[in-house]
Amino acid sequence: MSDGASFTLGRLADALGASLVGDAGRVVTGVAPLETAGPDQVSFLTDRKYLKQAEASRAAAVLVPRDVAELPAALLQVDHPQQALIRLLELFHPEPAVQPGVHPSAAVAESARIHRAASVGALAVVEEGAVIGPRSRVGALSFVGARAVLGEDVRLHPRVVIQDGVRVGNRVIIHSGAVLGADGFAYAFDGRAHRKIPQVGGLRIEDDVEIGANSAIDRATLGETVVRRGTKIDNLVQVGHNCDVGEDVILVSQVGIAGSCRIGNRAVLAGQVGVADHVTIGAGAILTAKSGVPNDVPAGEVWSGIPSRPTGETKRIWAGESQLPELIKRVRALERRVRELEERRA
Amino acid sequence: MSDGASFTLGRLADALGASLVGDAGRVVTGVAPLETAGPDQVSFLTDRKYLKQAEASRAAAVLVPRDVAELPAALLQVDHPQQALIRLLELFHPEPAVQPGVHPSAAVAESARIHRAASVGALAVVEEGAVIGPRSRVGALSFVGARAVLGEDVRLHPRVVIQDGVRVGNRVIIHSGAVLGADGFAYAFDGRAHRKIPQVGGLRIEDDVEIGANSAIDRATLGETVVRRGTKIDNLVQVGHNCDVGEDVILVSQVGIAGSCRIGNRAVLAGQVGVADHVTIGAGAILTAKSGVPNDVPAGEVWSGIPSRPTGETKRIWAGESQLPELIKRVRALERRVRELEERRA
Amino acid sequence: MSDGASFTLGRLADALGASLVGDAGRVVTGVAPLETAGPDQVSFLTDRKYLKQAEASRAAAVLVPRDVAELPAALLQVDHPQQALIRLLELFHPEPAVQPGVHPSAAVAESARIHRAASVGALAVVEEGAVIGPRSRVGALSFVGARAVLGEDVRLHPRVVIQDGVRVGNRVIIHSGAVLGADGFAYAFDGRAHRKIPQVGGLRIEDDVEIGANSAIDRATLGETVVRRGTKIDNLVQVGHNCDVGEDVILVSQVGIAGSCRIGNRAVLAGQVGVADHVTIGAGAILTAKSGVPNDVPAGEVWSGIPSRPTGETKRIWAGESQLPELIKRVRALERRVRELEERRA
């Protein structure tokens, strides 16, 4: 999180593939939002609606879309400002290189295979037969269970739990407190007590997945729970046993997905959405915040509400609700008026 | 999670109390669902609605209810297929026996009493005066606070927190990340600041309870928070201070129960249900997913919605909501028509 | 949590600034609620609605408002019973003093500065350049990242994560499992994949904040996420990146606040409330349990519902909903009657 890097605008333009309008030799020492950037910092305009803030900014230079031409600051014009911003942040805040090696305080089983380019942090535990791939980092106080496998360039932040046999792909990032591979929640009532159904399946996390702090993804009863390539999961999310979460899915904080659901590629579940068991969410579907989803949602549609319905329908319901107390009075008035008409008629 | 066990069908029939229709000498090496089972595996049919899948399955044998008589595979006919499935899974995936002893990297206080048949994992912490009963396992990186007591056959998965003085019964399973006995959430505003009300009560977990990953159950202000025998709690559940959660209760993932609630025996709270403080949920009541429960719920009833109401009523409301936008138009049309009738009348 | 202290009523009256009605020499050995207090305990009546329970209580003495004059027990009359109760609980359950020093099993980086009056628990990790202030306690198995700063009298319970560079003020209490300073949830889709926007900002927790078990508060993308003085956060709460949570705010369990929100001073968000990104909650506003908040909420108002609206309006909607199925029938009947009137007219 430390700054310290500095670049000339010319060097930044090269790195970002940007057209520079301004002094190539000017030096900037950090990135900051438009409102807080100082005269030695570079800022960014990823959405034209902040043009006024950009005009008022004290930043030395602003990363802008190609068609933004006039600002007090120097301009770094690019095709895709948001992608360029990522590169800009990486330039000023490079990820420290992995320091290979096992911290002497870690407890690593003899049969665990730690790649010599991997690192295992202080007071971490790696159990029998676990495999840690090249350049992967096991954070301090993390637990990697027996026969679990981490691929290449995986980052476990401090205090992550990877249970026995869980398989994690490459370039996966897992934040502190996440628990991967706890037992699914499954019991059979035998007339006297809930008897636990053993959860003997696995959990597979594919490449380029990120999982947030204190989230929990359960192992399968049999077979595998799967989170597919490129999916991003926020903090405090629950994914039940035997779910198949597709590619490039977004699960926002506090989403809960019950067992055996299928979430299609590129679906987006906003904060606090809940999905009942055995539900299929189609590819690209969007569920807005706090939706409760008892049934399947078609691909590509936007749904909302409890129970969830197409968002247009739900919005009409929400608008109608506002009129409901008044509507009841109007119906009562109508009943009176109709009664009068009927009485006069009679 | 490793397989490796193999059994003849005759041996399985004996172990399950099943009637075998087929070759008693045939060997099977694992359990799998109907769709994925191979010819050396045994599968199961716990619900007749999957009969077609059972007919199409390549499994060597299928565990079935007694009245299922004809399938391509050999049959293991039992009275209670789901209970037999539990036994079947236990046969193929036996829990490894406890390896008694304290890992040399664990930090165990001198006055803690660890039964010689118990185990304490790598880098676990057991504080002054704590008691760990026979065959109980303290997972790696777990914390057992001062004077906390674990009974017999308790399993703390890695990285569990049992706070000071918490009492845990026998055969309790607690998953990674769970926090038992943190302070309840209680303050008194003194006109200038929220002042903390000390939380000096306890927490008692009775026998045969299971608690999911990253759940939190708070200690009482005074007295005890209690989770009674046989109750099963999923991941990311919150139980507030001074709650009394009855026997054989089911709390599904992300349920939140505020302080001083009483949850009756065998109640079921589905995912993301929220219960306000001081509420009583009657025995056997069911709250469907995402219910918001501001008031008491009678025993044996099924309630839904926000605010929660009897499910029949809530379903009628949900159905009515769909008609609401149209209803508003119909009322507007009625008003026009009645006005016309009135005008003609006048 | 251990009792053991005992006081005469005279000594308690002095300590609480109470008027004693009863025997100053009588000794009490603990605090208990009215229902369970025994004859050697002191109880409390913080709300007159429990007067009957107070009359039936076996307590030796009861802490009461000044205007409560007659009870079977001795009386400790005070101006503010709830504040006096806090003092009473502190007297019987004093916080143990910090035992300064670093546990030999902790992994502390050489460049970390641990105040000599601070304590670092068993198997905790403190990274390079971190600063732990006087009388602060780092719980067992906790992680304090590089250059993180804890002020004075901070208490990290066991197994807390303070990520790199996070700044924590004075007298802050953080419960087990909380994760402070994980990455915010931010990606830019480049047409093929969600690309991570580096989260290089910080997190600042001001004085007198308390944060519950397994909660997660993310660092900012740039700049700082801030939780201001005196704010109290319950278990399993999510606060997104770049939020500014004001002073003396209450966030009850399982609240989720998306990125870049501003929560005004003394606002109260009840259990399971969700707030969309970039929303401003005005000072002193109250959101009742399970509210879904897509838009700003004015200062001082009480809002409820999904989507949240002023509580009066939401309650009228909830009341109206109950009548909705019946209302639909009434409208149908009206339509029939109006049709008949129209037909007779024609």
Predicted confidence (pLDDT) per residue in C153-210, tens digit: 999 999 999 999 999 999 999 999 999 999 999 999 999 999 999 999 999 999 999 9
To test the contact with chain C by mutation, choose from B138, B190, B222, B311 the residue with the greatest count of C C-beta atoms within 10 A, namely B222
The two three-digit tokens of residue C176, written as one number: 């087990």
Cα separation, C116 vs B238, in Å, equals: 37
Known catalytic residue at B175: no
Mean pLDDT across chain C: 96
Segment A199-222 mean pLDDT: 98
Residue A60 clears pLDDT 80, i.e. is over it: yes
pLDDT (0 to 100) of residue B96: 86
pLDDT (0 to 100) of residue B262: 98
Q: Report the residue from A85, A176, A327 with minimal CB separation from C197.
A: A85
> ipTM value of the model?
0.95
Q: At B205, is the secondary structure helix, strand, or coil?
A: strand
Chains touching chain B through at least 3 C-beta pairs below 8 angstroms are A, C
Predicted confidence (pLDDT) per residue in B236-291, tens digit: 999 999 999 999 999 999 999 999 999 999 999 999 999 999 999 999 999 999 99
Cβ of A182 within 8 Å of Cβ of B235? The answer is: yes
Interface of B with C in 176-195 (CB under 8 A): 177, 179, 182-183, 185, 187-190, 193-195
Q: Give the 3-state DSSP-derived string for chain A, with helices as H, strands as E and coil as C.
A: CCCCCCEEHHHHHHHHCCEEECCCCCEECCECCCCCCCCCCEEECCCHHHHHHHHHCCCCEEEEECCCCCCCCEEEEECCHHHHHHHHHHHHCCCCCCCCEECCCCEECCCCEECCCCEECCCCEECCCCEECCCCEECCCCEECCCCEECCCCEECCCCEECCCCEECCCCEECCCCEEEECCCCEEECCCCEEECCCCCEEEECCCCEECCCCEEECCCCCEEEECCCCEECCCCEECCCCEECCCCEECCCCEECCCCEECCCCEECCCCEECCCCEECCCCEECCCCEECCCECCCCEEECCCCEEHHHHHHHHHHHHHHHHHHHHHHHHHHHHHHHHHHHC
Q: Which residues of A are marked as active site?
A: 241
Interface of B with A in 108-127 (CB under 8 A): 121-123
The residue of chain A with its CA nearest to that of C310 is: A322
Cα separation, C215 vs C193, in Å, equals: 29
Residues in chain B: 346
Render C120-184 in DSSP notation, one character per residue: E-TT-EE-TT-EE-TT-EE-TT-EE-TT-EE-SS-EEPTT-EE-TT-EE-SS-EE-TT-EEEEPP
What is the radius of gyration, based on Cα positions, of chain A? 27
Smallest Cα–Cα separation from C74: which of C88, C84, C61, C56? C61
Angle formed by the axes of helices B311-345 and C311-345, to 10°? 50
pLDDT (0 to 100) of residue B5: 87
Would strands C74-78 and C19-21 be described as parallel, antiparallel, or unpaired? antiparallel
Smallest Cα–Cα separation from C113: which of C143, C149, C66? C149
Residue A3 clears pLDDT 80, i.e. is over it: no
DSSP state of B94: P
The residue of chain B with its CA nearest to that of C93 is: B200
Predicted confidence (pLDDT) per residue in C320-332, tens digit: 999 999 999 999 9
Contact between A236 and A254 under an 8 Å Cβ cutoff? The reply is yes
C338: chain B residues, CB-CB within 8 Å: 334, 337-338, 341
Mean pLDDT across chain B: 96
Which residues does C152 contact at the CB level (< 8 Å), separation at least 6? C133, C134, C135, C136, C170, C171
CA C84, C86, C90, C93 dihedral sign is positive
Predicted confidence (pLDDT) per residue in C4-61, tens digit: 689 999 999 999 999 999 999 999 999 999 999 999 999 999 888 899 999 999 999 9
Predicted confidence (pLDDT) per residue in C221-234, tens digit: 999 999 999 999 99
Cβ of C159 within 8 Å of Cβ of B143? The answer is: yes
Is the backbone of residue B237 left (phi > 0), alpha (psi -120 to 50) or beta? beta
pLDDT (0 to 100) of residue A47: 86
Q: Report the residue from B193, B214, B327 with minimal CB separation from C331.
A: B327
Segment B210-237 mean pLDDT: 98
To test the contact with chain A by mutation, choose from B170, B233, B321, B336 the residue with the greatest count of A C-beta atoms within 10 A, namely B321
The two three-digit tokens of residue A329, written as one number: 């009075």
The single residue listed with the structure tokens 């490079």 is: A94
Interface of A with C in 69-108 (CB under 8 A): 80, 82-83, 85-86, 89-90, 92-93, 103, 105
Cβ of C344: how many Cβ atoms within 10 Å? Answer: 11
Q: Could you tell me if C292 lies within 8 Å of chain A, comparing CB atoms?
A: yes
Predicted confidence (pLDDT) per residue in A132-154, tens digit: 999 999 999 999 999 999 999 99
Residue A207 clears pLDDT 90, i.e. is over it: yes
Q: At B187, is the secondary structure helix, strand, or coil?
A: strand
The two three-digit tokens of residue C138, written as one number: 């780092």
Residue C143 clears pLDDT 60, i.e. is over it: yes
Segment A104-110 mean pLDDT: 98
Predicted confidence (pLDDT) per residue in B67-112, tens digit: 998 899 999 999 999 999 999 999 999 988 899 999 999 999 999 9
Q: What percent of chain A has pLDDT over 90?
A: 95
Cα separation, A59 vs C162, in Å, equals: 32
Predicted confidence (pLDDT) per residue in B29-40, tens digit: 999 999 999 999
pLDDT (0 to 100) of residue A142: 98
Residue A1 clears pLDDT 70, i.e. is over it: no
Cβ of A320 within 8 Å of Cβ of B324? The answer is: yes
Q: Could you tell me if C318 lies within 8 Å of chain B, comparing CB atoms?
A: yes
pTM to 2 decimals? 0.96
Contact between C251 and C232 under an 8 Å Cβ cutoff? The reply is yes
**Minimal C-alpha gap between C63 and chain A (Å):** 41
Contact between A123 and A142 under an 8 Å Cβ cutoff? The reply is no
Residue A199 clears pLDDT 90, i.e. is over it: yes
B327: chain C residues, CB-CB within 8 Å: 327-328, 331
The single residue listed with the structure tokens 């009409």 is: A316
Cβ of C320 within 8 Å of Cβ of A341? The answer is: no
**Minimal C-alpha gap between B198 and chain C (Å):** 6
Cβ of B83 within 8 Å of Cβ of A107? The answer is: no
Instruction: Quickly state the pLDDT bin for C75 (edges 50, 70, 90).
Output: very high
Residue C25 Cα to chain centre, angstroms: 38
Contact between A126 and A111 under an 8 Å Cβ cutoff? The reply is no
pLDDT (0 to 100) of residue A2: 42
Residue A48 clears pLDDT 90, i.e. is over it: no
pLDDT (0 to 100) of residue B72: 93
To test the contact with chain A by mutation, choose from C105, C161, C211 the residue with the greatest count of A C-beta atoms within 10 A, namely C161
DSSP state of A331: H
The single residue listed with the structure tokens 């008409």 is: A341
Cβ of C240 within 8 Å of Cβ of A248? The answer is: no
Which residues does A192 contact at the CB level (< 8 Å), separation at least 6? none
Query: Partners of A64 in the beta sheet?
Result: A77
pLDDT (0 to 100) of residue B244: 98
pLDDT (0 to 100) of residue C5: 87
